[in-house]
């Protein structure tokens, strides 16, 4: 160093590490690890879907996310009272033309549980192949195969003055079909909405994605959905 030359004790800017760039690799690595972990968890436990409406209140509330058990996919092993998730395309959701991008974005959002279920619906199974389901008995309850149906999940007393469904109807369920209703009968689009339409409101069993087993979000609302012989 030449005599009389002072130094600041700092490293020239060109020789210093780019502090602003240090965190990018770690951020990307953390995000990638989180995505992989979430994907593995989802693959092991099943899809998590968003409840978009109040049609299943009080059992399910809008904005909750439910864990779906795919063991019942295609209708295998379904029982009366199961809360079922199914593809409503062509029944409750009429066929419509969508671009590949629209379908892809909807499917990805539904897969991660951050969007709606696309054409997916969440309802309760009330009748299966061979059943006859009608509304209503003199006491206001539904009648299945000649016997009144108890529905504690409705969250209200069923009476002649306040029946299980406001309208009168009857379904005779053929092979490969089911009748589904929402627990919030006054606010639900379900099999009753399709009376008189092709298929008569009878949902194909092959459209079943699975059964809703538990609410996983929000955390303070986590709960299992108890079996109900509806």
Task: Identify the pLDDT of residue 100.
Answer: 42
Alpha-helical regions (H) of the chain: 23-45, 100-112
Q: Nearest Cα to 207, choosing from 88, 127, 52?
A: 88
* 155 within some domain: no
- The more confident residue out of 106 and 77 is 77
* 212 within some domain: yes
Range scoring the smallest mean pLDDT among 113-122, 175-184, 201-210: 113-122
Whole-number average pLDDT of the chain: 80
* 82 within some domain: yes
- The more confident residue out of 65 and 106 is 65
Task: Identify the pLDDT of residue 1.
Answer: 47
State the DSSP code for 93. Answer: B
Q: How many domains does the chain have?
A: 1
The set of residues, in sequence order, having a beta carbon less than 8 Å from that of 200 and lying 6+ positions away, is: 171, 194
CATH of the domain at 115: 2.10.109.10
Evaluate if pTM is beyond 0.75.
no
**Can you name the residues that pair with 204 across neighbouring β-strands?**
177
Structural domain that includes position 116: 47-126+179-224
* 149 within some domain: no
pLDDT at 9 over 70: no
* 195 within some domain: yes
* 11 within some domain: no
Distance CA 48, CA 217 (A): 9
* 166 within some domain: no
* 184 within some domain: yes
């Amino acid at each position: 160093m030449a005599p009389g030359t002072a130094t600041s004790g700092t490293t020239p800017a060109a020789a210093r590490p780019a502090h602003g760039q240090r965190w990018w690799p770690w951020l990307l690595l953390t995000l990638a690890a989180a995505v992989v972990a979430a994907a593995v968890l989802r693959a092991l436990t099943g899809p998590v879907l968003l409840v978009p409406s109040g049609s299943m209140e009080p059992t399910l509330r809008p904005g909750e996310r439910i864990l779906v058990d795919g063991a019942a996919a295609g209708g295998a092993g379904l029982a009366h009272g199961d809360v079922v998730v199914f593809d409503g395309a062509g029944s409750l959701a009429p066929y419509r033309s969508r671009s590949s991008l629209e379908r892809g974005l909807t499917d990805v959002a539904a897969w991660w549980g951050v969007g709606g279920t696309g054409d997916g619906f969440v309802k309760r199974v009330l009748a299966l192949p061979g059943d006859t389901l009608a509304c209503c008995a003199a006491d206001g309850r539904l009648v299945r195969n000649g016997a009144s149906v108890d529905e504690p999940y409705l969250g209200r007393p069923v009476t002649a003055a306040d029946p299980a469904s406001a309208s009168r109807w009857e379904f005779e369920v053929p092979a490969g079909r089911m009748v589904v209703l929402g627990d919030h009968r006054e606010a639900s689009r379900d099999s009753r909405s399709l009376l008189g339409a092709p298929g008569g409101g009878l949902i194909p069993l092959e459209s079943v994605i699975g059964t809703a087993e538990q609410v996983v979000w929000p955390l303070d609302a986590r709960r299992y959905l108890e079996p109900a012989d509806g």
